[in-house]
Structure 1
């Protein structure tokens, strides 16, 4: 799950906070010039009053760079070092995958086993979901993190395994038939943690500690499966405080109390990651069979290859093979990228929302692998310097404004103009677009890229949007419906979802249809809904498509949102 964030503004340069791990010769490591270029890249985070990042460069069995920039604890002014422990979010998935493969090597399960052999709570969806479907994100299961959020559970509240398993088990449909598509879902990897515990008799954290962390000497690595657990050396998570006085930058705590593992929750340091990374070259845990299983790309039922292997993406970066996985959870952002042919890896761990760990890792790779990457600047200095992109003049903004709909994900995208700037709205989240080409844009502080399709001088007819490592959305322009005030009244009522076990009152507020959110104690929140297609509205929760009976009366709606589609809400009463 990815949370909203506001990009931290650059702060005044300060002394770089560094701690080295191990030295390496220039021929096997990183030159003095390259180190300086890396320092320049992270200079905006090297501040004695803000959170930041740790970076590691591993080359040919040596740790060539291990440095910290910024603070692990802003309140106590504790600097980030190579030993600082970060929540690495979804970068954890490769460890859950490794645990399952080790159990397969033990003869205790097979990746082709039906998941319901181990998790009988799951409904029978008419097709077998195997353990390998979970590992590949091809199961079709809706994402439990989004389901829990819709059910009213905030990340600051305690979220347990029991809650996650219960909400997954309540789902009566899949996003797509198992094996026919790749679509990232945290549910699969959470279920892998459940399977590890039921097969081995140990929680994933204990199993990983005994079978992976201790054998490799990963002294700080641990899964945080108890929200109150104390983790020595932890870098706390932060976000920019949007309520800070104008012209100032202030941070607030951004931490989660959810206890689920498998899909995330692993805490470790650059030093720990270096030891795990070298296991891919000199496999002490699991042997070469483990590495081969982890890095074998998946395949759909129709034979199409996908970039996801097992807990890892396998692709190319600037013409060079790469194995990687990013992670983003509340106040943390992480990336571990491995370039196996060069025996080189880059790890970036950050402790604030809006950090660009994936982009930063690529820029570090541009520096240390400039001699082999296509299109990389051999000098590296200009490429590495932040905030120096050449000005790009986009096409007239009026050609890009409008509503776009992606049928595969049931997602509405709105492109609007505010004070001369182009804004992309996904639900209620406004994302400022920065031009990278005449009709190409990115969102600073988010791994979001947007490309508009133009013909002649007409308005754009399609918007292709890529978020992180997810497949690109192809959203087609449409003209939103304009229901009358009388027509809006037909949607007013109380609706119940058996799959989420929540009741949503829909009301008219200031002339607009809205969800009256009553999940919070002593607080009611009104979430306005914007008309989309006929009998469809979009809002913070996602896209609502209403159903009617033969007489034309509304009987309910289906909700589709991030990584989940077709959640049924039934009309309980009309409130008029």
Structure 2
């Protein structure tokens, strides 16, 4: 009798879990005025949730689903750091290489900077190059050289300051060393072995099926987000929650693309992101490394105009939460935290 009752309860318990996830997501979407959201939750290698909420395109009434293509923003940085370590494994570079190896015309003040400094935001370079324009397609080297005239913000290696310029430089290095455009190398070396067939460069002009439109609010009025024409290596890719599940499997299992020790090197804390004595957040190579309520977390958020995202992997809990949104005001990290709280109680 007890066994029969337990069997009858299984569907109810399963439904309750999914329903609770829906309640959390929908409540927070309403509070944050999020138009559309794609969510993936993976627990111990099993996909618990992979679905969409809201609209990919409001005007055409196209709903978000697990195959909706959404801008990742700086979640893309992990692809660049992974590609650098892949090229290291191929014997084509060393992460201790000085940037002058690849940019011989760079200022003398840049001489201490290595690839490790670029990946960990410890180079001392300014956050953005002055020549970068969100609304203009430019060669990466042109953007990089526009920063040659600027002084370093701090002594190389001395502290942390988030730096998108550094990831432009990593992209240019990938292009030089691999002999192909950085987007092609990342596609070939990372996306193909991972089975990510719907992850793309953020090319505004290309026709990409299932691509979501971006939105923002002007006071209380929803409007189309301003289009970013620039192809920005520091936030260079589009993807889907389904493809990001495939990527989560790769980084969790650590069996392909990189050797296990190099996957783990990406997540080694390099430097604290704050000078506060009680700060527990560090940056590795393309990842933030921190604790959330006693749970070890590697994560990265992303922000482009009209899009916000987060990839959160709780290392010792077997829990990953991936959220992609198409709304400028969204705070996906807060949603990921709320979902993590819920799943930790399960």
Say whether the fold is shared (TM-score over 0.5): yes
User: CA-to-partner distance for each residue in 1:87-130, whole Å, 9 max, x for gaps?
Assistant: 11111001000000000000110000001101223211065100
Following TM superposition, where does structure 1 have runs of at least 4 consecutive aligned residues deviating by more than 3 angstroms?
156-160
- Extract unaligned runs of 5+ from structure 1: 1-25, 243-247, 372-576
Structure-2 separation of matches of 1:271 and 1:83? 6
Measured against aligned partners, the alpha-carbon deviations of 1:111-162 in whole angstroms (never above 9, x if no partner) come to 00001101223211065100000011000101225x246xxx4x33444424
Is it true that 1:228 corresponds to 2:195 in the alignment?
no
Structure-1-length-normalised TM-score: 0.54
Q: Counterparts of 1:165 and 1:230 in 2: how far apart (Å)?
A: 29
Q: Does 1:281 align with 2:252?
A: yes
Match of 2:92 among 108, 113, 117: 108
Correspondence for 1:32: 15
The whole-number CA distance in structure 2 between the counterparts of 1:369 and 1:255 is 38
Which whole-Å deviations, capped at 9, do the CAs of 1:308-344 have from their partners, x for residues lacking one?
0100011111111111000111111000000111111
C-alpha contact 1:122 1:168 (8 A) present in aligned 2: no
Q: Deviations over 1:180-199 (max 9, x none)?
A: 01111101111100000000
The answer to whether the Cα contact below 8 Å between 1:60 and 1:344 also exists between their aligned partners in 2 is yes
Greater Rg, structure 1 or structure 2?
A: 1
Q: How far, CA to CA, are the matches of 2:107 and 2:99 in structure 1?
A: 11
**Cα drift, residue 370 of structure 1:** 2.0
Residue in structure 2 matched with residue 72 of structure 1 by the alignment: 56
After TM superposition, list the pairs within 5 Å mapping 1:361-372 onto structure 2: 361-370=336-345
Alignment partner, residue 241 of structure 1:
218
Match of 1:292 in 2: 264
Post-superposition offset of 1:221: 1.0
Q: How far does residue 250 in structure 1 lie from its aligned partner after superposition?
A: 2.5
Cα drift, residue 43 of structure 1:
1.9
* Deviation for aligned residue 1:260: 2.6
Matches of 2:110 and 2:215, distance apart in 1: 43
Give the whole-Å Cα distance in 1 for the aligned partners of 2:84 and 2:158: 23
> Do the aligned partners of 1:86 and 1:351 also contact (CA within 8 Å) in 2?
yes
Q: Answer yes or no: is 1:197 the counterpart of 2:175.
A: yes
**Aligned pairs, how many?**
327
Q: Report the CA distance between 1:280 and its aligned residue.
A: 2.0
Q: Distance in 1 between matches of 2:51 and 2:209?
A: 19
Return the offset for 1:168. Answer: 2.0
CA contact (8 A) 1:144 1:167 kept: no
Q: Deviations over 1:255-286 (max 9, x none)?
A: 2111131x112110101111111112222221
RMSD: 2.4
C-alpha distance in 1 between matches for 2:322 and 2:252: 16
- CA gap of 1:161–1:356, structure 2 versus 1, over 3 A, is same
Tell me the distance in 1 between the aligned counterparts of 2:110 and 2:229: 35
Once residues 356 and 193 of structure 1 are traced to their aligned partners in structure 2, the CA distance between those partners, rounded to angstroms, is 27
**Residues 50 and 338 of structure 1: CA distance in aligned 2, closer, same or farther (over 3 Å):** closer
Q: Give the 5 Å matches for 1:58-69.
A: 58-69=42-53
Higher fraction of strand: 1
Match of 2:174, SS?
Answer: helix
Does 1 or 2 have the higher relative contact order (CA < 8 Å, sep 6+)?
Answer: 2
Alignment of 1:18-57 (within 5 A): 31-44=14-27, 45=29, 51-57=35-41
